[in-house]
Structures are given as C-alpha cells and as structure tokens.
Amino acid sequence: MPSLADLSQAVEAYLRGDASLDQFADWYSRASRSMFGESPALTEACVKLGALFSELDYGEMTEDAFRAELANAALAVPSPSTRS
C-alpha cells in the first residue's frame, strides 16, 4: 500500500490536471486494495476518498464538486514537506 505521501501526490496530480479522473480512479483502485492493514491515518484517508468516489459514481456529486471536496480533504493529508 502506498504511503500518505503517495496518496497526497496522487491527489495533487489529479487536482493539477496531470492525471485524468479515470487515471486517478484507476490508481486509487489499485492502491487501496490493502488499506485495512495499514496505519489508521492512511486507512481513514482511503475510506474518505472511497466515499467521495462513491458519491461521484452514483451521480450524487459532479466532478467539480468532487474536485472541491478532494481539495479540502487533501489538506488533511500531510505532504512530505509538512510532516515533523
């Protein structure tokens, strides 16, 4: 399973437009397969992201709203430069 830093980098790449929604969703699908054996912080971040994908997949949220929610959620994922 990727680290919180990997997750943060993937989110940032999608938000910058370096990865399409499909590419980001595919990455998340592969990366989150073993999330429940990882740290609580990583598991929580993956569960939150999974919930956002579900809302998007079931038409409860637009891609613009998904991006906005993701940008807010990404703030809770420490990047490598902000961790102590």
**76 alpha carbon, distance to own chain's centre:** 11
Q: pLDDT per residue over 16-28, tens digit each?
A: 999 999 999 999 9
Average of per-residue pLDDT values in the chain? 85
CA distances from 66 to 23, 34, 46, 73, 80 (A): 15, 24, 15, 10, 24
37: DSSP letter: G
Domain-wise residue ranges, the chain: 4-74
Q: Does the structure show a pLDDT above 80 at 74?
A: no
Q: Look up the pTM and report it.
A: 0.80
Counting residues of the chain whose pLDDT is more than 90, the rounded percentage is 52
Query: Could you report the per-residue pLDDT of 21-55, keeping only the tens digit for each?
Result: 999 999 999 988 877 777 888 888 888 999 999 99
